[in-house]
Structure 1
Amino acid sequence: MKSNNWLLLTLVFLCGFSVMGVEMAASRLLRPFFGDSILIWANIIGLILIYLTLGYYLGGRWADRDPRAVTLYRIIAIAGFAIGILPYLARPFLQLAIPALQQFDAGLGFVSFVGSLVLFILPITLLGCVSPFAIRLSTRDVTSAGATAGTVYALSTFGSILGVFAPVFILFQSFGTRGTFVAFSIALLVGAIVGIIQEGKIVRALKYLALLAIIVILAALDSGGIVKAAPGLVTEIESPYNFIQVIDDPSGWRLLTVNEGQAYQSAYRADRVLTNGIWDLFLIAPHFASADAPRSLLLIGLAAGTTARAYTLVYGAIPIDGVELDPAIIAAGQKYFAMTQPNLRAIADDGRNFVQTRAGQYDVIAIDAYRQPYIPFHLTTVEFFRATRAHLTPRGVVAVNAAHTPTDYRLVDALAATLRQVFPSVYLIDHPNSANTLIVATLAPTRLDDFRANVARATDANLRVVAEQAALTARVATQTAPVFTDDRAPVENLIHDIIFRYALGQ
């Protein structure tokens, strides 16, 4: 390669950096509206690869027809401009997702999701053109073609490696999602303009300087603002794990929702103990094994502390360990949900890692780790429940929140069947006001009549209300269903099928 190819090789590196950086930023752009499940990631990665494939093919043919450096620089400049305006063009498509999810309109949601991803076709396809084009420009002798191609692909791949880490550890935190797109855009435009000037095309460079000015002006006029509007919005928080919203509803409840906002992860009113939600049912879980009040609680999926607060108010200041993956959710709970009980120890950790690496035993282990509509698969398996069993006292219980539709209990049945592989007695309680079932498993063999007798002795008024509610649907889990293991736990596929059938009215 000629020594004056330094700019060309720098741009190859920068384009590889931008491809992966934009892919990472795409997930952040879509997360508030569609979440970041494995399905979303599969679509993002798959479409990006399709666009790159198209770019590789077109770039090679384009380079053979017009093997000039200035043509490559123009391609990079247009790609940079497209990246810069992408988050602004995506807004109307993303806003369609809000009514789609609220109304469960699968067609509208599909248009919103696909429309957003189609916007990536131009910049990613153009960036895919860069490597074959650069190889064509840099190859002076067929005897060194292999070394030339190897150098180009090594630089591009090295850039992509950095493009994975830089957004996560630096750019998202420093500039936000839209600012990250703008940063990649400006870098590509500046590099391309330098190349065009180096080729002596001053007038043409001025045209691309105008595009750069448009991006800079857009970024300057963008005050950040609200990413996803919602009635009663108190605050929005973007963390490495979630897009978080705190909302005040008209009835006086403060609510926590994450990502696409299909459900609430926490609810708080200073003058209420009960929420009329699934959190209330966790209060009666210990009485499947004992009439006595629980002496300790491990809560996997602390969120903003709704269940922890209820346990403290009903059972007193018992020791509570609350495990929450996202430190930003813990901070939001402490700031906006009065999650400041001195008996609560909030721990930022993965629930599976916590039970496998920490000591301690508990009367109750409550698992409420939904990231709607999904449960992390590693918190649903036989191996996980065996690990939780080791942390139970002799009168211990495990309680798991699971969702269902009015007619489809397959997820509930699968979790119950999995728990029955580990525990001798498993029970189900449907919540009357939501599509949730609480699954309770006891370490020692128990009977449903034991539960009824235990809650009949309850003196706390709130506990009695929940017990009366639960008595209407409490039943022994007897259904057979596939058992989830670490090797095979098709939780996402099962949930997708449940949602699909529900959307079709089946």
Structure 2
Amino acid sequence: MEIVKKSTLYTISAFVSGAAVMAIEMSATRLLAPYFGNSLYVWTNVIGLIMMALAAGYYCGGRLADQKPKASIYFSLIFLTGAWALVIPFVSGPFFAIITRSFSNLAEVVRIGSFVAVAFLFVFPLFLLGMIVPFTVKMVLVHVEEAGTVSGKISMISTLGSLVGTFLPAFVLIPVLGTTKTFVCIGIVLMLLAAFGLRKWIFVIIALASVGFLWLVPPVFAHDSIIYAKDSPYGFVFVTEDEEGVRRLHVNNPIGTQSLYDPASPLAPEPYYYSYFGVLPAMVETPQTVLILGHGGGSFTRIFNAYYPELSVTGVEIDPTMTEAAELTMGLLDATVEIVYADARTYLLNTEKNYDLILVDTYQTSSIPAHLATHEFFELVHSRLNEGGLVALNASSASGDFLNSLVKSVDIHFDQMAAYAVPNSTNSMILGSDDLNFDFLRAVPEMLSEKAAAVTEGLYEFSFSDEVEVFTDEKATRVEILSDAMHMQVLQGF
């Protein structure tokens, strides 16, 4: 008994629509991250609003299909969704910037601002895609007694499409093409599918013309001096070069510099913090090994290679694209360093090596990984230090409650703590050791003596009240709340 009609085309439509649901959801977080971060609150808004949009789409799609079960309406919904997807990456930046500047309470930007952003930009296309599943069931159903079989089959096919739409953007499209072109791919597939179903060449022409135009439009970005740009699974990585030839490595936005390369010197110009951290090996008696968590483009490695050639340098970097960018544009190919690609905490859990100096440089201006800021993490860091070893954190843009809680989370695992605020910078150097050596000027290379003197004079100790909370894995969302508020403050002042 034949229970479906035009089953192939409608089956493909259900599969593609299911894939588009998850592809848009996965790609949406990449557009939101530079403006709202990628905390639990942002993900909750994305998932929650998309679920709401799909639920409404299922209901409305079923009612519309019962009233007007026409192929022209069915494929028009798909075509409209594709057109919307094409536009999203080109309007999201200006739209999100307006939202972030519309809140006086910075804490509300992450929770409410991201809610508004998702509601206005992503709910409508997901609502349309939600209409496709019940509409498909209506279009292929011939006999009512087979309704269960047909609805189960279409739901399965749509879910399999969603599975593909989850993995394909994360592992292929975004790393290879970038976020903007991923949305373009989603749009072109939906529009061409709809054009084929509508069987009108005008829709095919519109789809191809729109994609041909949008494919040539570069992503909206503020810098004209980009010499390298690539999307990775972890962020949009790009390198800029100024008029003096100094190159800066950024992730997602130009607010924070992840690494800096000056062809004329391993030392970074003011007000960058890298040179101040260059004095740290001198604080350890006979240092032999250093571990850099968050190796980035290798700014620390260049300094250590130049002024402490006896040091064995290991860098842990989660994103291979950062290394690729540094090798192509920032002289990393000439450096002596062992680079391990892993999450910093995962590496510490699995390595059996101990180090004389551990640098933690994993905090971006727009994103502070919660699992790398808790006292359990610093307990693990402490366990990987040799006797007399030193840990140093770059607390980028850290201030207020976040900085106090971060330092207290470090303090409970070390006998001695000290901090240094890098001049004319938002960076703070947080030091922890069981035997902190303040008499290190004699061991500092001559080129770093000025920085060492400044650090010696500027080191200070923290004092805590009982009210300052310690960051824990159990309540890691507290890290996200405070760090997101700092991110919004920096972004609004940019």
Class of the TM-score when normalised by the shorter of the 2 chains? 0.7 to 0.9
Whether the 8 Å CA contact 1:412–1:437 is kept in 2: the answer is no
**Cα deviation, residue 17, structure 1:** 0.9
**Cα deviation, residue 112, structure 1:** 10
Indicate whether 1:485 and 2:472 are aligned. yes
Query: Which residue is 1:285 aligned to?
Result: 280
Whether the 8 Å CA contact 1:417–1:479 is kept in 2: the answer is yes
- Output aligned runs, 1:52-451, within 5 Å: 52-90=54-92, 93=95, 118-197=120-199, 205-219=200-214, 222-223=215-216, 225=218, 227-272=220-265, 273-276=267-270, 277-288=272-283, 290=284, 292-404=285-397, 408-442=399-433, 444-446=434-436, 450-451=437-438
C-alpha change, 1:362 and 1:93, in structure 2 (3 Å) is: same
**Cα deviation, residue 414, structure 1:** 1.4
- Residue 437 of structure 1 aligns to a residue whose secondary structure is strand
**Cα deviation, residue 358, structure 1:** 1.6
C-alpha change, 1:484 and 1:61, in structure 2 (3 Å) is: same
Whether the 8 Å CA contact 1:360–1:391 is kept in 2: the answer is yes
**Cα deviation, residue 150, structure 1:** 2.2
C-alpha change, 1:503 and 1:385, in structure 2 (3 Å) is: closer
Deviates more, 1:412-421 or 1:165-174: 165-174
- Residue 323 of structure 1 aligns to a residue whose secondary structure is strand
**Cα deviation, residue 213, structure 1:** 3.5
Partner Cα separation in structure 2 for residue 184 and residue 95 of structure 1: 24
**Cα deviation, residue 155, structure 1:** 1.6
- Residue 235 of structure 1 aligns to a residue whose secondary structure is strand
Amino acid at match of 1:167: P
TM-score under structure 2 length normalisation: 0.86
Query: Which residue is 1:201 aligned to?
Result: none
- Residue 331 of structure 2 aligns to a residue whose secondary structure is coil
Partner Cα separation in structure 1 for residue 492 and residue 180 of structure 2: 35
C-alpha change, 1:286 and 1:209, in structure 2 (3 Å) is: closer
Corresponding residue to 1:15 among 14, 17, 35: 17
Indicate whether 1:471 and 2:462 are aligned. no
C-alpha change, 1:98 and 1:237, in structure 2 (3 Å) is: farther
**Cα deviation, residue 470, structure 1:** 1.8
**Cα deviation, residue 398, structure 1:** 0.8
**Cα deviation, residue 322, structure 1:** 0.8
Runs (5+) with no aligned partner, structure 1: 198-204
Partner Cα separation in structure 1 for residue 488 and residue 233 of structure 2: 29
Partner Cα separation in structure 2 for residue 138 and residue 117 of structure 1: 32
- Output aligned runs, 1:32-71, within 5 Å: 36-71=38-73
Whether the 8 Å CA contact 2:297–2:323 is kept in 1: the answer is yes
Q: Deviations over 1:201-248 (max 9, x none)?
A: xxxx244234323334325xx336455241432221222222112112
C-alpha change, 1:389 and 1:324, in structure 2 (3 Å) is: same
Partner Cα separation in structure 1 for residue 218 and residue 430 of structure 2: 41
Partner Cα separation in structure 2 for residue 298 and residue 176 of structure 1: 31
Deviates more, 1:128-137 or 1:318-327: 128-137
- Residue 427 of structure 1 aligns to a residue whose secondary structure is strand
- Residue 424 of structure 2 aligns to a residue whose secondary structure is coil
**Cα deviation, residue 144, structure 1:** 3.6
Instruction: Flag as ranges the 4+ runs of structure 1 deviating above 6 A.
Output: 94-100, 110-113, 501-505
Whether the 8 Å CA contact 2:177–2:231 is kept in 1: the answer is no
Q: Deviations over 1:413-468 (max 9, x none)?
A: 212211222222121111122122111111x344xxx51xx134245233321222
Over the residues paired in the alignment, what is the CA RMSD in angstroms?
A: 3.4
C-alpha change, 1:284 and 1:173, in structure 2 (3 Å) is: closer
**Cα deviation, residue 42, structure 1:** 3.8
Whether the 8 Å CA contact 1:403–1:412 is kept in 2: the answer is no
Matched-pair identity in %: 30
Partner Cα separation in structure 2 for residue 180 and residue 46 of structure 1: 23
- Residue 311 of structure 2 aligns to a residue whose secondary structure is coil
**Cα deviation, residue 488, structure 1:** 2.1
Whether the 8 Å CA contact 1:298–1:322 is kept in 2: the answer is yes
Amino acid at match of 1:63: A
TM-score under structure 1 length normalisation: 0.85
Partner Cα separation in structure 2 for residue 445 and residue 175 of structure 1: 49
> Which protein has greater RCO, CA pairs closer than 8 Å, 6+ apart?
2
Whether the 8 Å CA contact 2:368–2:483 is kept in 1: the answer is no
Whether the 8 Å CA contact 1:400–1:439 is kept in 2: the answer is yes
Partner Cα separation in structure 1 for residue 430 and residue 302 of structure 2: 21
C-alpha change, 1:27 and 1:157, in structure 2 (3 Å) is: same
Count of equivalent residues:
484
**Cα deviation, residue 307, structure 1:** 1.2
